[in-house]
Amino acid sequence: MKFLDEARIEIVAGDGGDGCVAFLREKYRPRGGPSGGDGGRGGSVWLVADAGLNTLLPFRYKRLFRAPRGENGRGKSQHGKAGEDLTIAVPPGTIATDAESAAIVADLNEPGTRVLAAAGGHGGRGNARFATPTNQAPRRADPGTPGERHVLRLELRLLADAGLIGLPNAGKSSLLARLSAARPKIADYPFTTLEPILGVVAVDADQSFVLADIPGLVEGAHLGRGLGLSFLRHVRRTAVLVHLIDASGKTPEAVLTDYDVINAELEAYAAELRERPQIVAISKCDLPDTRALLPVLRDEFGKRNIQLRHVSSVSGEGCRDLMIAVWQTIQHGRSLTADDA
């Protein structure tokens, strides 16, 4: 299924049914009095996170969702039937915001989360509700109130524990394929990954984490250059970022520049990403020129208090150590979250 991580929909809750003006007319009850029933409540619109979905593609073809209105009240004090609620399934990780106010309507970050997005209108009161000792034959009934109507912007942010970031062709897809059962497209030209790919990395028999391959970023990504804006949103939910850098054929200064470019884009997109734990690794360390450069790079990154790691997706060198480091960072973040709670 094609990946789609942004959509715009209109949701309309059902109007409430109108109240009824009626009087009881039966053979043995000549003074039956007012008997108009209330209108039914309009159907509401709910958003629910469905674990079986991973894309917003269905909303490309259907953008209007309308819940049924409530039935009008009837005579003999019969209330109108309530309109059925409408449930819209979205992938876990979806954020729904109001298109006009930009207010967050729902953050469906857990499978099964259910949020009321548009409330149905109330049913109007029938004339039986208005009977009093001084007004025994009221001819008043209320109309139903309109249901809520909203235009929503849906944005999917993948629920991954860790995210692979770096410039195009840094080796992210190869590393994901090495560490997990995911099989992303791998080629020797930029932007081979056009959509985020998730893979489950098994640390041992009982422990695992979800790793996302975020499509390569370029300078100016936060302004929409390259594929940036479309996929920067997916790093915001990750507990740790794995920054992969290709040092083959480059000088130490160029490698540091690559590192700074990506971090500048992350911070420009969302300031909180500056504080996100980050593990930096040099990829393709099986290449002779990369391996020769490693001692110098460790010194340069050490001056910034950054522990530099190295990996080879071809030979597997360093992959296990990197995987353990990522898992420990995820666990540390979870323990801090638990302590705060």
How many whole angstroms separate alpha carbon 333 and alpha carbon 204?
A: 19
Report percent pLDDT > 90 for the chain. Answer: 53
Q: Give the pLDDT confidence of 46-59 residue by residue, as tens digits.
A: 999 998 887 888 89
Torsion sign (Cα): 212, 216, 218, 220: negative
Considering the chain, what percentage of its residues have pLDDT values greater than 70? 85
Give the residue with greater pLDDT, 111 vs 25: 111
pLDDT digits over 157-193, tens only?
Answer: 776 788 888 888 888 888 888 888 656 544 443 444 4
When mean pLDDT is compared over 87-101, 158-172, 188-202, the highest value belongs to: 87-101
Binning pLDDT at 50, 70 and 90, where does residue 294 land? very high
Give the sign of the dihedral formed by CA 248, CA 253, CA 259, CA 261: negative
pLDDT of residue 195: 61
pLDDT for residue 339 is more than 60? no
pLDDT at residue 1 above 70?
A: no
Write out the H or E segment, with its range, that includes residue 296: helix 288-302
DSSP state at residue 78: B
Least confident of 32-36, 241-245, 302-306: 32-36
- The CA distance from 79 to 95, in Å, is 37
Mean pLDDT rounded to a whole number for the chain: 85
Task: Give the contacts of 217 (CB within 8 A, at least 6 positions apart).
Answer: 165, 166, 167, 168, 226, 227, 228, 231, 232, 262, 265
CB distance 70 to 121 below 8 Å: yes
Comparing C-alpha atoms, which of 227, 205, 204 is closest to residue 215? 227
What is the pLDDT confidence band of residue 299, given thresholds at 50, 70 and 90? very high
| Percent composition of the chain: helix, strand, coil (DSSP 3-state, to 5) | 25, 25, 50
What residue ranges define each of the domains in the chain, with the CATH number in brackets?
A: 1-156 (2.70.210.12), 162-340 (3.40.50.300)
135-157 pLDDT per residue, tens: 988 999 999 999 999 999 998 87
Contact indicator for 136, 212 with CB cutoff of 8 Å: no
- The single-letter code of the amino acid at 78 is Q
Token readout for 275 is 């504080």
- Pairwise CA distance, residues 141 & 127, whole Å: 5
- Of the candidates 80, 170, 160, 164, the residue with the CA atom closest to the CA atom of residue 126: 80
Give, in order, the Cα–Cα distances in Å from 29 to each of 76, 133, 227, 308.
12, 18, 76, 91
Predicted local distance difference test score (pLDDT) of residue 298: 94
Any idea what DSSP says for residue 275?
G
Residues 6+ apart with CB under 8 A from 118: 11, 12, 13, 44, 45, 67, 147, 148, 149, 150
User: Cα–Cα distance between 43 and 15 in angstroms, integer?
Assistant: 8
